[in-house]
Homo-oligomer: A and B are copies of this chain.
Amino acid sequence: MPGSRHASKGLDDVVVGTSEISWVGGETGDLVYRGFDVRTLVPGVPYESIAHLVLHGDPPESDPSPEVVRALRENERVPAAIERVVDALSPELPPLDALRTILSSLGDGSYGYPPRLAEGYRLIARTPVLLARFVRRTRGEPPVAPRPDLSHAANYLWMLSGAVPEPARAAALDGYLSLLADHGMNASTFALRTAISTQSDLVSAATAALATLKGPVHGGAPSLVSDMLDAIGTSDRAERWIRERLAGKQVFFGFGHRAYKTDDPRALVLHRIAREVAEPSRLALAESVERDVLAALRAAKPGARLYTNVEFWSAVVLEAVGLPRELFTPTFAVARTTGWTAHALEQARDNRLIRPDIEYVGPPKGREWPRPRSAR
């Protein structure tokens, strides 16, 4: 291998370009959208305005962003040809598998290169509409059309349940969506940018992103936090459960992050949101588990910088909002369609094929097939 090449299996030490969208300060515990600390935005600035900021670079003229509100309303009606595909999906399908096919089915041949903002609004608007449609089918319930008077977050809950959500729940989900709207470079955003780098289209790239988000190492684990809380049951059982699990060298879900070496700012804000909406007993359980797990991990590995990650408090908030566990990761994707759109547009503006090399370490050239080739 020539000396000028850089070997890196996980690419952790490789910087694949520049971005103006968001900054993840792993050492300082920062998440910044276009210069705005997310802790100063959430709760309070609605998701529609966060989307405006992430997509355009500046805040809208008023909240919620009139442009985004209008664009989402205009795009929520889905063509019947796409609804037919969603209605053909087996109700047995896990929602995350269904969502991959839903995202792909949005691509009706009209998405081109370069990607356009209008295509992004279609993606952002239609993802929750079709996901909710699928979920209701799995319960044998007819679809619920979006309501133009509800926010993006409230509409999602409305389309899932057929009931207008309590304002506190809608606000909690709005905060969750805003906090998860973008997160610098990560595996799914990278897969999306790789797809765009071949001059593929936004729907294809978003499908690649979802396919990558699906892995539990990236987006697929928040429901395991809820399972863990259930397994512990009550606050007084936390310490013993944790001790036994630690002795068995098993992992704890919701702790540790590749980027953050301090508190994940999203976890801090989601904890605050959880205090507003979670059942008091569930909140108390989560708080004791968090405290006891961190104490146990720090005692077991002195010096290790282990903190609660976004999944822990996401699970508590999404539970409190009324979402079933199998929708936790799909809802993450609903939030992230905004960031994916921004990254696709940015990648296309100064595009270059993303294609690393791999070192071949197989048998050297020169092997011979053991039989004569057939004459053709």
Taking CB atoms, residues of chain B closer than 8 Å to A19 are 358-362
- With beta carbons under 8 angstroms apart, the residue of B97, B205, B367 that contacts A107 is B97
Taking CB atoms, residues of chain B closer than 8 Å to A371 are 62-63
Contact A35 B363 (CB under 8 A): yes
- With beta carbons under 8 angstroms apart, the residue of B168, B276, B362 that contacts A21 is B362
For A206, the closest partner residue in chain B by CB is B211
Taking CB atoms, residues of chain B closer than 8 Å to A30 are 365
Contact A88 B85 (CB under 8 A): yes
Contact A363 B34 (CB under 8 A): yes
Q: Is A230 an interface residue (CB 8 A)?
A: no
For A372, the closest partner residue in chain B by CB is B44
Among A351-376, those with CB < 8 Å from B are: 352-371, 373-376
Q: Is A10 an interface residue (CB 8 A)?
A: yes
Interface 0/1 of A278-305, CB less than 8 Å to B: 0000000000000000000000000000
Contact A14 B9 (CB under 8 A): no
For A189, the closest partner residue in chain B by CB is B358
Shortest CB distance A245–B (Å): 21
Taking CB atoms, residues of chain B closer than 8 Å to A81 are 90, 92
Contact A362 B35 (CB under 8 A): yes
Taking CB atoms, residues of chain B closer than 8 Å to A362 are 19-23, 32, 34-35, 57
Q: How many copies does the complex hold?
A: 2
Contact B41 A373 (CB under 8 A): yes
Taking CB atoms, residues of chain B closer than 8 Å to A89 are 85, 105
Taking CB atoms, residues of chain B closer than 8 Å to A109 are 92-94, 97
Contact A6 B1 (CB under 8 A): no
Taking CB atoms, residues of chain B closer than 8 Å to A368 are 36, 40
Q: Is A328 an interface residue (CB 8 A)?
A: no
Given A7-B15, A12-B355: A200 and B207 within 8 A (CB)?
no
Q: Is A87 an interface residue (CB 8 A)?
A: yes
Q: Is A127 an interface residue (CB 8 A)?
A: no
B-binding segment of A117-125, A142-150, A190-198, A315-323: A190-198
Q: Is A185 an interface residue (CB 8 A)?
A: yes
Contact size class for A?
A: 35 or more
State the CA gap A240–B375 with chains docked (Å): 40
Contact A211 B215 (CB under 8 A): no
Taking CB atoms, residues of chain B closer than 8 Å to A200 are 211-215, 218, 220
For A90, the closest partner residue in chain B by CB is B81
Q: Is A330 an interface residue (CB 8 A)?
A: no
For A174, the closest partner residue in chain B by CB is B376
Among A229-262, those with CB < 8 Å from B are: 258
Contact A40 B369 (CB under 8 A): yes
Q: Is A177 an interface residue (CB 8 A)?
A: no
Shortest CB distance A232–B (Å): 25
For A49, the closest partner residue in chain B by CB is B369
Contact A360 B10 (CB under 8 A): no
Taking CB atoms, residues of chain B closer than 8 Å to A185 are 355-358
Known pairs A104-B104, A186-B355, A197-B217. 13 more at Cβ < 8 A?
Answer: A6-B8, A20-B360, A41-B369, A43-B373, A90-B108, A92-B109, A97-B107, A97-B108, A191-B208, A198-B220, A200-B218, A204-B215, A258-B355
7 example contacts (A-B, Cβ-Cβ < 8 A) are as follows A18-B360, A19-B360, A43-B373, A92-B108, A185-B357, A190-B194, A204-B215
